[in-house]
């Protein structure tokens, strides 16, 4: 009570007294603080019962006022005094000792305001960045302390300053020297210090600091003159013994070298990162989020030395992955894939889910949001990080989380476990945005192999083979979820995905049968057909062509661009109208139902195909794919062709389209259409060219569909009223007819509808790709 009365009286006196020059006023407030430690006999009273907070605030106001009154960049006498007399060093020591109680909060607040409100660069000064570095070490030592808010604000202020001037980070990369070098000197001083109390020690050192004149002028260091290297050590050794400050004395009191510490070799340290990492574990969510924001600023700094130190000498990578693993393990063993896919509110900075306020809650939603939110933070951190740091963090996530935690879950035998883990992997793939992390996820799923596949390569990357097999799993749910995962994987901007799954097996075009060109093949008949090509009208499989399904040459002349000399018949492209009609005419008339329903024609697919193809071209633009197939003369056609396990499973599934559930068929055809959209000439030839000369024993997408149609024509004869039933099923699927009695052969009828729509989609894709390649 007496101290508060004294503070009020002091303010009254200051208000009535004539104003002193700023420097005298500044020195007055600082000496008032030091005299407290000299005169006080009670160091247990909280700091709020003293005048210290008021004096510190006055000192800060004076420094701001002085800067405002001077030209930009000019250092005033008050700031010179603060630097010259190592006031920040002394304040750090008082904060570390927390004498009087609560002093640490006051010191943190003073540092934060000083760095935030003073515009001139302070951190380059050795008498600023050295005590700042020491104070950083005190932050995050103990969680849930009363000083957590002040600690995180201080750390984030330092991070913001480093973001403004990234070169300053070099002042905060310490070199830790062998403690045994300093042990004898310290141990000698310990004998003289151990018997002294903290209060008397503070008073003694303050008097010493005020009465002595040091040789340290507090001048700013240049970026190359970091206090973390040998220059700093030499500078500190040159200081007179009288300049040993209070913090050094207190550090010596607490120094107890352990045998383990003496064996530690010199290494870099990044205490700013370590303190922030500790505070990310705070039970106070606001503090944890601010710590994450501080780390986001630090990892994005462009300084290579900082990036190297951060990735090699901090536990950042381990913390990210270990927390990711622990949050994943906290998820329920079984979750609805739809819940995993549709959960919203996933943002690392807004993880404030309330179960009571959620009308759409489901078991496991809270831990699911926590996991996805932390993954979102890891993803954004890697996305913003310096390349060195990003690669290190992404590899750590792949090794410690995906390889150590997720892989066993994906390869287990429990169907429920497989479905849940695959749904989570699918959600992760959809959510990830950083290139470095996506690249590591691709390597985790597919492996790094780029040579053509062989049928004996099952054990080269077991997870890849396991996931591809899951596309043809006995459980339709697992098959659909795995196919969806691959569908979204194919849409990611990573060249290795498509190359590993498909392209490496098509590189040599050994799916084709090479026929040396002769003069007759170079001639084009008058009706525009390619010499040697099979005319569909003469093919017994297509004797049922109708005018409604086939486009006339006149229609194509108006819809298609004219052929140019650059696109001659030897460029691997068959005339597009023949390709389109080939797909449109695959399904026989009696198996077609779309022309009975408005808005289901072939043209409805053109707009979607154009948009999707444009998106895929944008993704593949930087991959520098060739515009034409590799010449057959340069291909190794002698090697045996294997389409690869991914296409094998898709073709096998496509071959069973008449006997599979509707949802499975939709997903299989969706993946195949996405593959067909890629603007690579070999993919186009293998998946979209019905006239490619297939080598013996090889199959293409068109040949698979031809076999399905052949089977369909036989089975149609055994089903009475096939066409009316087919039309009824289509209308029910479109919602144009109410559900009624179960129709016989429902699976077959739904398969026929999917097959017809898929052929129209392939025809649209073929036309759009031709049009794009022919347009300048």
For residues 323 and 318, give the distance between their C-alpha atoms in angstroms, rounded to a whole number: 8
Contact 31, 84 (CB under 8 A): no
Mean pLDDT of all residues in 361-382: 92
pLDDT tens digit string along 352-371?
555 555 667 888 899 999 99
For residues 208 and 240, give the distance between their C-alpha atoms in angstroms, rounded to a whole number: 12
For residues 528 and 688, give the distance between their C-alpha atoms in angstroms, rounded to a whole number: 20
pLDDT tens digit string along 293-332?
999 999 999 999 999 999 998 999 998 999 999 999 999 9
Is 443 strand, coil or helix? helix
State residue 576's pLDDT score.
Answer: 87
State residue 217's pLDDT score.
Answer: 42
C-alpha closest to that of 393 among 440, 447, 348? 440
pLDDT tens digit string along 389-418?
999 999 999 999 999 999 999 999 999 999
pLDDT tens digit string along 225-248?
444 433 443 343 343 333 344 444
Q: What are the CA-CA distances from residue 127 to residues 5, 27, 88, 555 (Å)?
A: 35, 18, 7, 83
Contact 613, 483 (CB under 8 A): no
State residue 125's pLDDT score.
Answer: 94
Tokens of 303: 């300084």
C-alpha closest to that of 483 among 423, 556, 532? 423
CA dihedral in degrees (734, 739, 742, 745; nearest 10)? Answer: 0
CB atoms within 10 A of CB 346: 19
Tokens of 649: 């499973």
CA dihedral in degrees (25, 26, 29, 32; nearest 10)? Answer: -100
Mean pLDDT of all residues in 510-514: 89
Please give the backbone phi and psi of residue 175, each rounded to the nearest 5 degrees, phi first. -105, 115
What proportion of the chain, given as a percentage, has pLDDT over 90? Answer: 61
State residue 350's pLDDT score.
Answer: 62
Mean residue pLDDT of the chain comes to 81
Does residue 216 register a pLDDT over 50?
A: no
C-alpha closest to that of 331 among 265, 257, 427, 397? 427
For residues 684 and 688, give the distance between their C-alpha atoms in angstroms, rounded to a whole number: 5
Mean pLDDT of all residues in 757-768: 95
State residue 301's pLDDT score.
Answer: 94
State residue 571's pLDDT score.
Answer: 45
What DSSP assignment string belongs to 17-43? SPPPPHHHHHHHHHHHHHHHHHH-S--
The most confident of the ranges 191-205, 261-275, 647-661 is 647-661
Query: Domain map of the chain by residue range?
Result: 13-138, 310-505, 572-774
Contact 685, 629 (CB under 8 A): yes
CB atoms within 10 A of CB 49: 17
CB atoms within 10 A of CB 771: 17
Q: Which has the higher per-residue pLDDT, 151 or 239?
A: 151
State residue 354's pLDDT score.
Answer: 59
Specify the residue for token string 């035998």.
413
For residues 575 and 760, give the distance between their C-alpha atoms in angstroms, rounded to a whole number: 17
Specify the residue for token string 């590799």.
630
Does residue 536 register a pLDDT over 60?
A: no
Is residue 384 classed exposed, middle or buried when 0-12, 13-18 and 19+ CB atoms within 10 A define those classes? middle
For the packed helices 681-688 and 662-677, what is the interaxial angle rounded to 10 degrees?
140
For residues 256 and 186, give the distance between their C-alpha atoms in angstroms, rounded to a whole number: 10
Contacts of 604 (CB under 8 A, 6+ apart): none
pLDDT tens digit string along 177-190?
444 334 444 444 43
Based on its alpha-carbon atoms, the radius of gyration of the chain, rounded to whole angstroms, reads 37
pLDDT tens digit string along 453-510?
998 877 789 999 999 999 999 999 999 999 999 999 999 999 999 999 999 999 999 9
Does residue 94 register a pLDDT over 60?
A: yes
Q: Which has the higher per-residue pLDDT, 293 or 11?
A: 293
State residue 44's pLDDT score.
Answer: 81
For residues 635 and 626, give the distance between their C-alpha atoms in angstroms, rounded to a whole number: 15
Residue 447, phi-psi category: left (phi > 0), alpha (psi -120 to 50), beta (remainder):
left
CB atoms within 10 A of CB 20: 12
Does residue 773 register a pLDDT over 90?
A: no
What DSSP assignment string belongs to 225-276? S-TTSHHHHHHHHHS-GGG--HHHHHHHHT----HHHHTPPPEEE-HHHHHH
The band of 747, judged by pLDDT with boundaries at 50, 70 and 90, is: very high
The band of 254, judged by pLDDT with boundaries at 50, 70 and 90, is: very low
133 alpha-carbon distance from chain centroid: 30
The mean-pLDDT minimum among 40-54, 552-566, 679-693 falls in 552-566
Mean pLDDT of all residues in 284-300: 93
Q: Between vectors from CA 450 to CA 447 and to CA 455, what angle results, nearest 5°?
A: 80
Is residue 44 classed exposed, middle or buried when 0-12, 13-18 and 19+ CB atoms within 10 A define those classes? exposed
First to last CA, the chain: 87
For residues 480 and 77, give the distance between their C-alpha atoms in angstroms, rounded to a whole number: 74
C-alpha closest to that of 124 among 232, 22, 230, 215? 232
Q: Which helix (H) or strand (E) holds 175?
A: strand 174-176
| Cα within 13 Å of Cα(93), Cβ side | 24
C-alpha closest to that of 247 among 202, 211, 188? 202
Q: What are the CA-CA distances from residue 320 to residues 141, 323, 374 (Å)?
A: 19, 6, 8
Does residue 249 register a pLDDT over 90?
A: no
Does residue 268 register a pLDDT over 80?
A: no
Q: Between vectors from CA 34 to CA 192 and to CA 256, what angle results, nearest 5°?
A: 30
Exposed e or buried b per residue across 516-542, where buried means at least 16 C-beta atoms within 10 angstroms of its C-beta: eeeeeeeeeeeeeeeeeeeebeeeeeb
Q: Which has the higher per-residue pLDDT, 610 or 563?
A: 610
Exposed e or buried b per residue across 727-765, where buried means at least 16 C-beta atoms within 10 angstroms of its C-beta: bbbbebeeeeeeeeeeeebeebbbbbbbbbbbbbbbbbb
């Amino acid at each position: 009570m007496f101290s508060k009365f004294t503070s009020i009286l002091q303010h009254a006196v200051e208000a009535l007294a004539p104003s002193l020059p700023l420097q005298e006023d500044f020195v007055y407030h600082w000496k008032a603080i030091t005299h407290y430690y000299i005169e006080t006999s009670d160091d247990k009273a909280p700091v709020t019962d003293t005048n210290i907070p008021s004096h510190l605030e006055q000192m800060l106001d004076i420094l701001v006022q002085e800067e405002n009154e001077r030209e930009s960049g000019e250092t005033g006498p008050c700031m010179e005094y603060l630097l010259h007399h190592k006031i920040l060093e002394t304040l750090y020591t008082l904060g570390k000792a927390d004498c009087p109680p609560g002093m640490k909060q006051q010191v943190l607040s003073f540092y934060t305001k000083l760095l935030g409100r003073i515009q001139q660069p302070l951190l380059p000064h050795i008498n600023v960045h050295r005590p700042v570095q020491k104070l950083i070490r005190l932050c995050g030592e103990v969680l849930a302390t009363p000083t957590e808010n002040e600690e995180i604000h201080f750390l984030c202020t330092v991070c913001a300053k480093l973001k403004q001037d990234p070169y300053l980070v070099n002042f905060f990369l310490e070199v830790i020297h062998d403690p045994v070098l300093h042990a004898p000197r310290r141990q000698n001083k310990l004998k003289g210090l151990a018997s002294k109390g903290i209060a008397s020690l503070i008073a003694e050192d303050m008097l010493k600091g005020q009465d002595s004149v040091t040789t340290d002028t507090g001048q700013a260091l240049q970026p190359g003159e970091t206090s973390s290297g040998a220059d700093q050590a030499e500078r500190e050794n040159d200081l007179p013994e009288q300049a040993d400050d209070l913090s050094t004395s207190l550090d010596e009191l607490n120094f107890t070298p352990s045998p383990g510490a003496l064996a530690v070799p010199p290494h870099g340290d990044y205490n700013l990162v370590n303190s922030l990492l500790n505070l990310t574990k705070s039970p106070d969510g606001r503090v944890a989020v601010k710590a994450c924001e501080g780390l986001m600023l630090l990892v994005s700094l462009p300084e290579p030395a900082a990036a190297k130190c951060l990735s090699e000498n901090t536990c950042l990578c381990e913390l990210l992955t270990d927390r990711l693993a622990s949050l994943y393990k906290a998820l329920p063993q079984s979750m609805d894939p739809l819940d995993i896919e549709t959960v919203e509110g996933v943002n690392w900075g807004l993880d404030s889910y309330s179960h009571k306020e959620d009308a759409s809650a489901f078991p496991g939603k809270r831990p699911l949001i926590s996991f996805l939110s932390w993954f979102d933070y890891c993803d954004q951190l890697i996305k913003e990080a310096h390349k060195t740091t990003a690669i290190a963090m992404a590899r750590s996530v792949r090794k410690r989380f995906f390889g150590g935690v997720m892989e066993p879950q994906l390869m287990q035998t429990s169907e429920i476990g497989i479905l849940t883990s695959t749904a989570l992997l699918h959600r992760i793939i959809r959510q990830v945005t950083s290139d470095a992390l996506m690249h590591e996820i691709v390597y985790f799923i597919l492996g790094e192999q780029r040579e053509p596949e062989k049928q004996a390569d099952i054990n080269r990357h077991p997870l890849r083979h396991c996931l591809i097999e899951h596309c043809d799993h006995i459980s339709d749910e697992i098959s659909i979820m795995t196919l969806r995962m691959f569908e979204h994987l194919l849409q990611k901007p990573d060249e290795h995905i498509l190359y590993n799954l498909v392209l490496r097996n098509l590189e040599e075009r050994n799916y084709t049968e090479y026929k040396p060109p002769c003069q007759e093949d170079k001639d084009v008949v008058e009706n525009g057909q390619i010499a040697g090509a099979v005319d569909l009208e003469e093919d017994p499989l297509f004797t049922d062509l109708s005018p409604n399904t086939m486009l006339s040459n006149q229609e194509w002349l108006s819809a298609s661009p004219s052929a140019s000399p650059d696109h001659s018949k030897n460029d691997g492209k068959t005339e597009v109208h023949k390709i389109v009609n080939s797909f449109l005419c695959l399904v026989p008339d009696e198996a077609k139902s779309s022309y009975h329903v408005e808005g289901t024609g072939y043209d409805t697919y053109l707009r979607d195909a154009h948009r999707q193809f444009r998106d895929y071209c944008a993704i593949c633009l930087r991959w520098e794919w060739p515009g034409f197939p590799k010449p057959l003369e340069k291909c190794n056609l002698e090697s045996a062709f294997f389409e690869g396990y991914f296409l094998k499973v898709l073709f096998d599934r496509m071959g069973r389209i008449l006997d599979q559930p509707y949802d499975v068929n939709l997903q299989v055809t969706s993946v195949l259409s996405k593959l067909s959209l890629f603007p690579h000439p070999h993919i186009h030839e293998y998946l979209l060219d019905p006239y490619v000369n297939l080598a013996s024993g090889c199959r293409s997408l068109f040949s698979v569909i031809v076999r399905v149609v052949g089977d369909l024509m036989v089975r149609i004869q055994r089903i009475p009223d096939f066409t009316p039933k087919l039309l009824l099923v289509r209308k029910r699927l479109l919602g144009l007819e109410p559900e009624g009695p179960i129709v016989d052969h429902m699976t077959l009828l739904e398969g026929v509808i999917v097959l017809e729509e898929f052929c129209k989609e392939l025809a649209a894709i073929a036309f759009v790709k031709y049009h794009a390649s022919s347009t300048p």
